[in-house]
Amino acid sequence: MDILMVNLIYIRAAIQQATGNVLPLDEIIDLLVDEGLITKAQAQDENLIFRGYEEFFETEEAATRVEQADQYVDKEYDHGEDE
């Protein structure tokens, strides 16, 4: 049996791009079942439905923390350049 992963975030983005409407994830699941793209059993299986990264990360924001590296850099280091 093939393993299926349904990415609701991607599907919602595609619907939004095509129609301008942002649908709730539960409504998208219902539409997928209605269209026969997934079964009711698949719709209820938490492992098959990708709902976002909330369970893995504190936020969905793509951000990084920039730390100053001055404390790690030896400012007296000779880079081999003649002055």
- CA dist 31 and 10 (Å) reads 14
How crowded is the C-beta side of 54, counted as CA atoms within 13 Å?
4
Q: Cα angle vertex 7, ends 25, 19, to 5°?
A: 60
In the chain (83 residues long), the average pLDDT of successive 10-residue segments reads: 72 93 91 93 80 67 70 63 56
pTM: 0.56
Chain-centre distance for alpha carbon 51:
9
Per-residue model confidence (pLDDT) at position 2? 56
What phi-psi label fits residue 21: left (phi over 0), alpha (psi between -120 and 50 degrees) or beta? beta
- CA dist 30 and 43 (Å) reads 8
